[in-house]
Structure 1
Amino acid sequence: MVTLVTQRSGKAILIKAVSSSCDEGSLANAVSGGLPGGVTSPGARSAMRVHGDHDDPTNIFPMPRYPPAHTSATFEAVAARKSLILTPPEIYAECAHHGEEKAKFGWLKLLTLCTIAGCYVGFGFTLCLMVGGNIGADILAARPGLFSLVYGAVGFPAAFTMIVICGAELFTSMCAYMTAAWWEGKVTFLTCVRMWVVSWVGNFAGCAIFIGLIVSTQIFEGRDWYALLMATKKVHHGFGNTLVRGIFANWLVGIATWQANAAQDLSGKAIAIWLPISAFAMLGWEHSIANQYLLPLSIALEPGHLSAYQVVVGNLIPATIGNWIGGAVCVATVYALAYGRPNLVITQRAEQLRAAWAGRWADRRRRGLPA
């Protein structure tokens, strides 16, 4: 019996010869062109290992599609595989590392990347308003689910994809990155606060710039009804309602950030971003940076439509607090407890307490005292 292990795309494939008459030359030919009765491996690499008994006349059946799970070659294949996504602990470590690296940005670089992120949000939200928002009020009333699907399916995922792929800094993602880095002791809490404040202000500046440019195009002329309607609703949810909606929004955005870091190729990142971001948009949660664009836009389209107090106190403050909780607590802190330094510290402390109590219990038993 002859066993051949060849490497293809970083994954080990176990191949068994179908008869004893098969020599190493025919095996090499089988790898390049296919083995009769077995699994072909066209285009496989030429590097291979051959081992086993060449004189075994009993192996007359076609090779199995996969090797038995108990063979060492199976475990070697699993250990050698190269995945296109990171494992959950690796994702957490990657995000903590990104937080550490972002903290090293100079003021100009950070402010520039935050400003351009606000512009990308403007592109995405404008797409939502111009496509989904112009289906019609009758569709909104009769089929709100269909309306939400069209509204949220493309615009916000497009914006977040541009931010991640092209390189820009969004406040809501920064909440997750910096918190993970802080839990790992890579940055101070004061550094986290600085990054959050600068990113929030920079995003607002980008939204303001984009509003000035987009209004000058008159693209919303005669088609601004949904922008005005949505802005009015957002400032009347109430503080607590808006805060919880903000938590849900950045919980999903944080998951999108996590998944985007897991994927190692462009298509994987795009899919990882699209699913949670489109979900948050369709569900109507409160994203503070998106609202930095929508609410001032509604004022620019119809002056006096909303007051500054309504914009800031009625929406931006509770949405921002909720976004911070969603990204920093619901995503970064949860995974820090699962995979990060807090998990190690808590586990070690629990083990110390358990050992101490076990020692005290054993000592009392030896002395004949009640436990």
Structure 2
Amino acid sequence: MGTGDDGNDALRKTLTQGFNTQPTRGPTRNMENNDIPPRMTMNGGAVQLGLPMPKWPAGHHSAAFEAVAIKKSFVLSPAEIFAECAHHGEEKAKFPWYKITILCIIAGCYVSFGYTTCMLVGGMLNQAPGVGLAIEENYGLYKLIFGAVGFPFGFTAIIVCGGELYTSLCAYMMAAWWEGKVTVWDQLRMLLVSWWGNFVGCAIMAGLLCASEVYNHKSTTLIHVAYDKVSHGWGATFVKGIFANWLVGIATWQANAAQDLSGKAIGIWLPISAFAMIGFEHCIANQFLFLMAWAQGANITAEQFIWRNMIPATLGNWIGGAICLGTVYAFAFGRTPKLLGAWWDGKMKKN
């Protein structure tokens, strides 16, 4: 009984101290040791033990992200998003060759999973192109289902689980370059390795999906979409490539703005589903599309694949990510305006 009374007294003392503490909205980051001590907090009359936040490795996030952790916000401001993306571009440029190769291959696999979901769910509707029924009736339903789940899943997996996609790196690397964190060679190296690594991932998935026979007797929409993508002019594909990676870049920006999984998922889902529903050109997704279409018997030549789709889509994707996001926000939130102002002031003084 004595031991039990001592335990009850200790618990009573702890609870009393907890009720005497001031209510807090959450833990405050200790920037010196990168940790948060446990504390007793009040929430609606209940005593809760605040748990320590996980320790992050040095350099894992930018100073902007750390500042947001201090102010207890779940979302970065636009200027902080740019700083975070530039920081990530710098860190990615330091990856050893084996790491970036593995992450690029796995990203191609995730995109292929997403595209397969689109084709085997939305592509099986009566309103899907190539099925042979009246597509003018409820065609929007096909578009909605096609874009609502598959591609957002693939891109969410890349961001959350880890993967490096050519289209996302266009924005990351340009933001880092404007901030003086990477060189032009760093950009070229990362973009070339990512493009080919993504291609290898798509090729692996195309082979495995053929072996699984999931596309058997279900490839009508797949082949129809592949034919449609080589039927447009070079300029149209180029512009659709710009729009595609503008939206993909927005998804990347918004994913970096959020600190929790649900916020990242929502930030990714809206722009990615929009790009898929509208039908813009994403070069990595198209890699899988054409490889799978060839495996299913599509009569598309290598010249059509490369010249009429891959080249304009790849270049358009670069502009959408590197210019429409990386460059635009560098001038809005980065160091570039200050550098230009200092250069102009120096020039005027000389005159």
The TM-score, its normalising length taken from structure 2, stands at 0.79
Structure 2 residue 341 is the aligned partner of structure 1 residue 343: no
Q: 1:92 to 1:44 in 2, by over 3 A?
A: farther
Structure 2 residue 289 is the aligned partner of structure 1 residue 307: no
Q: Partner amino acid for 1:309?
A: E
| 1:187 corresponds to | 182
Q: How far apart, CA to CA, are the structure 1 residues paired with 2:121 and 2:82?
A: 36
Cα contact 2:156–2:268 (8 A) shared by 1: yes
Q: How far apart, CA to CA, are the structure 2 residues paired with 1:141 and 1:115?
A: 38
Q: How does 1:262-273 map to 2 (within 5 A)?
A: 262-273=257-268
| 2:25 corresponds to | 8
Structure 2 residue 126 is the aligned partner of structure 1 residue 131: no
User: What displacement does 1:175 show?
Assistant: 0.3
Residue segments in structure 2 that go unaligned for 5+ positions in a row = 1-20, 29-40, 50-68
4+ runs of 1 displaced by more than 4 Å?
43-46, 349-354
| 1:95 corresponds to | 85
Q: How far apart, CA to CA, are the structure 2 residues paired with 1:211 and 1:195?
A: 24
| 2:278 corresponds to | 283
Cα contact 1:122–1:207 (8 A) shared by 2: yes
Q: How far apart, CA to CA, are the structure 1 residues paired with 2:219 and 2:185?
A: 41
Name the SS for the 2:135 alignment partner.
helix
Q: How does 1:179-258 map to 2 (within 5 A)?
A: 179-258=174-253
Q: 1:140 to 1:96 in 2, by over 3 A?
A: same
Choose from 144, 148, 157 the match for 2:152: 157
User: What displacement does 1:140 show?
Assistant: 3.1
User: What displacement does 1:353 show?
Assistant: 6.8
Q: How far apart, CA to CA, are the structure 1 residues paired with 2:70 and 2:122?
A: 47
User: What displacement does 1:164 show?
Assistant: 0.5
Residue segments in structure 1 that go unaligned for 5+ positions in a row = 12-30, 34-40, 47-78, 361-371
Q: Partner amino acid for 1:164?
A: I
Cα contact 2:227–2:300 (8 A) shared by 1: yes
Cα contact 2:122–2:142 (8 A) shared by 1: yes
Structure 2 residue 315 is the aligned partner of structure 1 residue 321: yes
Q: Partner amino acid for 1:210?
A: M
Q: How far apart, CA to CA, are the structure 1 residues paired with 2:342 and 2:329?
A: 18
Q: Partner amino acid for 1:87?
A: S
Q: How far apart, CA to CA, are the structure 2 residues paired with 1:168 and 1:139?
A: 39
User: What displacement does 1:350 show?
Assistant: 5.1
Cα contact 1:244–1:322 (8 A) shared by 2: yes
Q: How far apart, CA to CA, are the structure 2 residues paired with 1:97 and 1:8?
A: 29
Higher RCO (C-alpha 8 Å, min separation 6): 2
| 1:104 corresponds to | 94
Cα contact 2:167–2:321 (8 A) shared by 1: yes
Cα contact 1:139–1:147 (8 A) shared by 2: no
Cα contact 1:228–1:298 (8 A) shared by 2: yes
Q: How far apart, CA to CA, are the structure 2 residues paired with 1:184 and 1:32?
A: 43
Q: 1:351 to 1:140 in 2, by over 3 A?
A: farther
Q: How far apart, CA to CA, are the structure 2 residues paired with 1:32 and 1:100?
A: 41
Q: How far apart, CA to CA, are the structure 2 residues paired with 1:337 and 1:236?
A: 37
Q: 1:139 to 1:108 in 2, by over 3 A?
A: farther
Cα contact 1:288–1:319 (8 A) shared by 2: yes
Choose from 256, 273, 296 the match for 2:291: 296
Cα contact 2:22–2:42 (8 A) shared by 1: no
Q: 1:278 to 1:352 in 2, by over 3 A?
A: same
Compare CA radii of gyration and give the structure with the larger one: 1
User: What displacement does 1:44 show?
Assistant: 7.5
| 1:166 corresponds to | 161
Choose from 328, 331, 334 the match for 2:325: 331
The TM-score, its normalising length taken from structure 1, stands at 0.75
Choose from 42, 45, 49 the match for 2:45: 42
Q: How far apart, CA to CA, are the structure 2 residues paired with 1:254 and 1:294?
A: 21
User: What displacement does 1:81 show?
Assistant: 4.3
Q: How far apart, CA to CA, are the structure 2 residues paired with 1:8 and 1:218?
A: 53
Q: Partner amino acid for 1:292?
A: Q
Select between 243-252 and 220-229 the one with higher mean Cα deviation. Answer: 220-229
Q: Partner amino acid for 2:86?
A: A
Q: How far apart, CA to CA, are the structure 2 residues paired with 1:330 and 1:313?
A: 24
User: What displacement does 1:208 show?
Assistant: 0.4
| Alignment: residue pair count | 296
| Cα-Cα RMSD | 2.5
Q: How far apart, CA to CA, are the structure 1 residues paired with 2:255 and 2:296?
A: 35
CA displacement, residues 61-87 of structure 1 (integer Å, 9 cap, x when unaligned): xxxxxxxxxxxxxxxxxx974110111
